Amino acid sequence: MIKATKALRPIESDLVSTLEGAVAQRGVTQRIALEARSRNIKRILFVGMGGSWASSVPVVLQLQLSKLPVPTYNLNAAEFNALYSDTVGPNDLVIAASHSGGTPETVQAAETVKARGALLVSVAIDAENGLSAPADFSLVYGSNRSITSAKYTLLSELAYSLREANEDVAGIAEARASLEAMPKATLVATEAYEDHLAEIARAYASADNLYVLASGNLSGLAYLLSVCYLVEMQWKKSTHFATGDFFHGPFELAQKDQPYILFAGEDRTRDHADRAKRFLDTHNPNYRVLDVKDLQLPGVDPAQRSALQHIPMASITMRLADHFEAVSGHDLDFRQYMHKVAY
């Protein structure tokens, strides 16, 4: 283990207000859903790059498992432009996300689908950017720190509204009541996890390679932690695997004290995490768990925890990146290539 070399950032002061602001956009999501129904939407496409792509993973899963009578997909914006854009038309709902609203691939996708008559929704920090310009509706969160948990909250509201407009209302009132409690609950859960996150960062800040496992609606967070926070922001070697796929090849790397971070949810994929833990305990016990069962979530209905678990866990994942920064001394905001050179 190594000691911290940089002052630890405080937990973002706008966390609760940002998530409350996301919940407050329910009226916008309901208007989107009613417009989608009036247009007889036949397909829903979420489009983004990097963390914005990952931010759509839980909502896509929720809609795929709902009674919504249309298919839902999550597409990388660059691949969308190359492979799918010419299939889009007036019966498509496209939700395009980019934190800055300026990601070139996502802006291109938005402009293309708007020209082809699709119903377009932008998701970004604000509504004054290249992504929101062609959009029919904009969902915004206004924070440079409380990003993924805010996107998750906005898209949860959108999912509830789409289901509601299509008369799939079972459990929505209860889910929304818990979503309203989630902003303050997320802060409580994040604060309570501080010591555990600090220990993970001390243990793994100098690791040569760090693998991340997750399943279900936490899968996007495995991508986010590995690709965005560890690779991009900490310049560490890392990759991520679906926990269920761990036993179909990747577990061969569980050797020589290889470190792992394992997300464990409370949903129906919990058995995948428990199976991975049992294997690692026997063959490579150098792992740490981010476990939803450990979270304090006051005001959240126990029956709704699994459906909303990605929201507080997103805040905790970002907070883990803060702890890595403090121990490694490598600033999360420093880039060598991104926005620095032509690419």
pLDDT tens, position by position, 259-310:
999 999 999 999 999 999 999 999 999 999 999 999 999 999 999 999 999 9
Nearest to 113 by CA among 44, 27, 30, 31: 44
CATH number of 15-170, picked from 3.40.50.10490, 1.10.1740.10, 1.20.1090.10, 3.40.50.720: 3.40.50.10490
Same fold, 15-170 and 186-328: yes
Q: Is the backbone of residue 114 left (phi > 0), alpha (psi -120 to 50) or beta?
A: alpha
pLDDT digits (tens, 9 = 90+) for 35-87: 999 999 999 999 999 999 999 999 999 999 999 999 999 999 999 999 999 99
pLDDT digits (tens, 9 = 90+) for 239-262: 999 999 999 999 999 999 999 999
Q: What is the dihedral angle through the alpha carbons of 174, 178, 181, 186, rounded to the nearest 10 degrees?
A: 180
Nearest to 92 by CA among 125, 45, 49, 124: 45
The H-assigned helical ranges of 212-331 are: 219-223, 233-234, 270-283, 305-308, 310-328
pLDDT number for residue 3 = 66
- In this prediction the pTM is 0.96
Residue 195 to residue 39: CA distance in whole angstroms: 50
> 3-state DSSP call for residue 113?
helix
Instruction: Name the class of domain 186-328.
Output: alpha beta
Give domain limits for the chain.
15-170, 186-328
Structure tokens at 268: 């129906």
Structure tokens at 233: 């922001």
